[in-house]
Amino acid sequence: MSTESTITVDHSAVERILWLRQQEDYGDSAFLRIAISGGGCSGFKYEMSFTDEAEDEDKVFNDAIVIDTASLDMMENTRIAFEDDLTGARFVIDNPNVSSGCGCGKSFTVNEE
């Protein structure tokens, strides 16, 4: 996979991050950090948290989301959105590199191309 990752951040995700900055008093410079780590029954899982810092090796998207370079390698052409419907409110990561997921929906396997 390429190290030049293309991430699409929907307006819905940016709006929710702006709202959370206000509601949770994170401050105007807070980012939603998305990282992929080993874990879960399928091998990988997403971790999300708010941070005030973007490291040198991070890439910032829409002045709202920060992703480290190791995670970017597994997120090529990913779309990030926010959905609020009858099943709940959540950030949705549509990653075309995911080849399968576990039954609980918390972890996934990445294509090895």
Domain encompassing residue 68? 7-110
- What is the model's pLDDT at position 41? 74
Burial class (CB in 10 A: 0-12, 13-18, 19+), 62: middle
Is the pLDDT higher at 110 or at 50? 50
What total number of domains does the chain contain? Answer: 1
Q: How far apart are CA 56 and CA 8, in angstroms?
A: 21
Residue 76 located in a structural domain:
yes
Residue 78 located in a structural domain:
yes
Q: How far apart are CA 18 and CA 15, in angstroms?
A: 5
Residue 1 located in a structural domain:
no
pLDDT grade, residue 107 (50/70/90)? confident
Domain CATH for 103 = 2.60.300.12
Nearby residues of 77 by Cβ (< 8 Å), 6 or more positions away: 5, 6, 8, 96, 97
